Copies of this chain bind each other. A is one copy, B any other.
Amino acid sequence: MLLPTSASIVIALLMGIAGVGFVLWQLKRVLAYDQGNDVMREIGAAIQEGASAFLAREYRVIAIFVVIVATVIAVFLQWQTAFCFVSGAIASAGAGYLGMYVAVRANTRTASAASRGLHEGLRVAFGSGAIMGMSVVSFSLIGMTLLYLIFNDDPNHLTYITGFGFGASSIALFARVGGGIYTKAADVGADLVGKVEKGIPEDDPRNPAVIADNVGDNVGDVAGMGADLFESYSGSIIAAATLGAALGKGETVAFIGLPFLVAAVGVISSLFGIYMVIGKERDESVLAGAVSNASLTAKCVYYLSQYVSRIDENASLEDLLTALRRSVWGASVVILGLSLLAVLMSGLHFNYWLVIVVGLVAGNAIAYVTEYFTAYTEKPVLAIAKATQTGAATTIIQGLAVGMMSTALPVLITAFAILISIWLGHKADGTLAAGLYAVALAGVGMLSTLGVTLATDAYGPVADNAGGIAEMSHLPKEVRHRTDALDSLGNTTAATGKGFAIGSAVLTALALIAAYITAAKIDGLDILGPTMLPGLLIGAMMPYLFSALTMMAVGKAAHEIVMEVRRQFHEIPGLMEGTGKPDYAACVGISTESALREMIVPGALAVIVPIVVGHVLGKEALAGLLVGTLLSGFLLAVMMANAGGAWDNAKKYIETGQYGGKGSDAHKAAVVGDTVGDPFKDTSGPSLNILIKLMTIVSLVFAGSFGSGWLNF
């Protein structure tokens, strides 16, 4: 029985709705946990308030931006695309809001749950991450499938849906770039005055910027990462469907349906993976119940429960990491089976299943390499730690060298994944176009288990915040040990998550470029074509310009926080003694305002440059521009993320007592490395993911409006 495309779409819609069901259930479950004592509630309330203030302000600006862009699209293109654009923005913003909403409520609950046990704490924090992960997947699927069904009768429906991707990209721009500037400005600002000038510890409630800093953790790794991957997830499916439409013949265009179907079964796999962490362990009484009353649900729960990871009280970092990895791998195994079914039911060539496998393997391999280059148990970080002995300069040189070196394997993995995908697609259907479709499908495969992989990322800041709250509210030592363990786990997953985010961004952007070239009706895009080389060069330059702007933005925004924190220490009586109350909201407000202001120039560049190049130099030059940005952005992003992660962990390694430990000269040098790495890994690096995707989706949306440029060849 072959599945018609519309059936695949409906299945995807239903799975999206199932995902929302999970999100609501999990939301209720997480919020039901107790919030701990009064101090914890108070701190939690301040963080919630700060996050709300940030989101309210940011969403106001986004609303204006969305209205303007939607109007432009409606006037110059079609109202349908504008409608899809607004839908994409709302879906992504909604998922981000939900993720943030629960993250800033799960932190106190995690700290409180940790006092009852390690696995209990992990359940709450990971449950919060799972809400983010599943919201992203579900909202994206529901949005795209509904739009597909609404515009089904219009032959241009896939063109309109690219607007959904553009909407998602716009939110990602604000969340990643604005959020990235916000989080590091608050972090650096808090540290510079608090730790350095005043000598008070990190996460000290007397520091007026401490709440801004805590909010920032969530802004960066929950909202930012979520929006980034929402964009990749939607973009890869849109690209695959668009390329599939160009391939398909006849009534049933299986090529369009397959990416949706793979995404749909990905929801099941993700839920299984999530269950492996948050589920209850096997309990013989359940078995008894299952056998006795023979309820199907009870039976399922029993059989599934044997896959739940066991985490006992003395679990090491390695054990915790294994538990999370098992959940991702478990989800991967399930998706392998289900996607084979999907490919067979679509009636497409077996090779397309292999392509999905390639995408999945590549994503995991890149994450693994990232871990190697940023973990302090491995050579690269140890070499940086050793270089701290000869001072800050050698620390920086070694870190940059490690970052550069770390690009080799992710690039080779990606290159081979692309090569094999193209080859498999080409073998299956005999055309290069099928090969490019296969590349897009590999991207869909890589992102199919996003529900659970994003959960492992979005879990991090909750654990981080929980640690801070445990510290500030003076919880017992063993609780803090548990929150520390959960926090370390979050740091490791944050680094690998970044690798995964970049890898998926590259595949998505590549598929979108192919879709753009199809949509712009370019044939024969010679690399030595008259406007191609200038396009490639300017494109390769964009990530450098963009990174320069975002790095400088962090500096400026941090400077404003420093001024405000100094002012408060100076003007508020008794602040240092703990009798005066700091004005947390002022710091949150300043970080928010300056982050939004500083992102205007880089953000505008990302949107305007493709449109200008497309009109002035023509659509071929624009293709070159996109490829150039993709190449140079990929390299720079990996370099920055991994150098930043490696410096961070080199510092942590020294803080375990190596090379003189905290306070030694080696530690001071390591702190310099870590500080340089902060904007690398949390602002500029991740922002490049957005740059490469946003420029591409803008080009795809406006593809029809570009000609051959002003120069006449």
Given known pairs A528-B517, A672-B672, the reply for A545 and B407 (CB within 8 Å) is: yes
CA distance A644 to B509 in the complex (A): 33
Contact, CB under 8 Å: A530 / B435: yes
- Shortest C-beta distance, A394 to chain B (Å), equals 7
Contact, CB under 8 Å: A544 / B412: no
Q: Does A419 contact B (CB under 8 A)?
A: yes
CA distance A414 to B539 in the complex (A): 13
Stretch at the interface among A156-164, A624-632, A689-697: A624-632
- CB-contact partner of A534 in B405, B419, B535, B540, under 8 A: B419
Stretch at the interface among A120-128, A217-225, A546-554: A546-554
Contact, CB under 8 Å: A676 / B407: no
Residue of A404, A530, A711 contacting most chain B CB atoms (<10 Å): A404
- CB-contact partner of A407 in B390, B435, B544, B628, under 8 A: B544
Band of interface residues on A? 35 or more
CA distance A530 to B431 in the complex (A): 10
- Shortest C-beta distance, A199 to chain B (Å), equals 16
On chain B, the residues within 8 Å of A623 by CB distance are 527
- Shortest C-beta distance, A354 to chain B (Å), equals 15
CA distance A70 to B393 in the complex (A): 42
Contact, CB under 8 Å: B530 / A527: no
On chain B, the residues within 8 Å of A394 by CB distance are 555, 675
- CB-contact partner of A419 in B517, B531, B632, under 8 A: B531
Closest to A526 in B: B525
CA distance A397 to B407 in the complex (A): 20
Q: Does A510 contact B (CB under 8 A)?
A: yes
Closest to A617 in B: B419
Given known pairs A397-B679, A536-B627, the reply for A548 and B404 (CB within 8 Å) is: yes
On chain B, the residues within 8 Å of A531 by CB distance are 419, 422
CA distance A397 to B676 in the complex (A): 6
Contact, CB under 8 Å: B711 / A400: no
- Shortest C-beta distance, A525 to chain B (Å), equals 5
On chain B, the residues within 8 Å of A627 by CB distance are 527, 536
On chain B, the residues within 8 Å of A535 by CB distance are 415
CA distance A536 to B630 in the complex (A): 10
On chain B, the residues within 8 Å of A391 by CB distance are 672, 675
CA distance A540 to B636 in the complex (A): 10
Q: Does A398 contact B (CB under 8 A)?
A: yes
Contact, CB under 8 Å: B510 / A533: yes
Within 8 A of B (CB), among A187-227: 192
- Shortest C-beta distance, A567 to chain B (Å), equals 18
Q: Does A514 contact B (CB under 8 A)?
A: yes
Contact, CB under 8 Å: B541 / A412: yes
On chain B, the residues within 8 Å of A393 by CB distance are 392, 671-672, 675-676
Closest to A530 in B: B422
On chain B, the residues within 8 Å of A411 by CB distance are 537-538, 540-541
Q: Does A325 contact B (CB under 8 A)?
A: no
- CB-contact partner of A544 in B404, B624, B679, B713, under 8 A: B404
Contact, CB under 8 Å: A530 / B631: no
Within 8 A of B (CB), among A405-437: 405, 407-408, 411-412, 414-416, 418-419, 422-423, 426, 432, 435-436
On chain B, the residues within 8 Å of A547 by CB distance are 401, 404
Given known pairs A387-B555, A524-B524, A672-B393, the reply for A407 and B533 (CB within 8 Å) is: no
Q: Does A639 contact B (CB under 8 A)?
A: yes
Q: Does A277 contact B (CB under 8 A)?
A: no
Q: Does A337 contact B (CB under 8 A)?
A: no
Contact, CB under 8 Å: A631 / B632: yes
On chain B, the residues within 8 Å of A671 by CB distance are 393
Contact, CB under 8 Å: A415 / B532: no
CA distance A639 to B676 in the complex (A): 17
Q: Does A666 contact B (CB under 8 A)?
A: no
Within 8 A of B (CB), among A647-697: 671-672, 675-676, 679
CA distance A278 to B404 in the complex (A): 45
- CB-contact partner of A514 in B416, B528, B540, B634, under 8 A: B528
- Shortest C-beta distance, A126 to chain B (Å), equals 34
CA distance A99 to B517 in the complex (A): 52
Q: Does A635 contact B (CB under 8 A)?
A: yes
Q: Does A701 contact B (CB under 8 A)?
A: no
CA distance A401 to B555 in the complex (A): 11
A-B contact pairs, 8 of them (CB 8 A): A397-B675, A401-B547, A411-B538, A411-B541, A418-B534, A526-B526, A527-B532, A540-B635
Known: A392-B393, A415-B533, A544-B635. 8 other contacts (CB 8 A): A391-B675, A400-B551, A419-B531, A432-B526, A540-B631, A540-B632, A628-B631, A631-B632
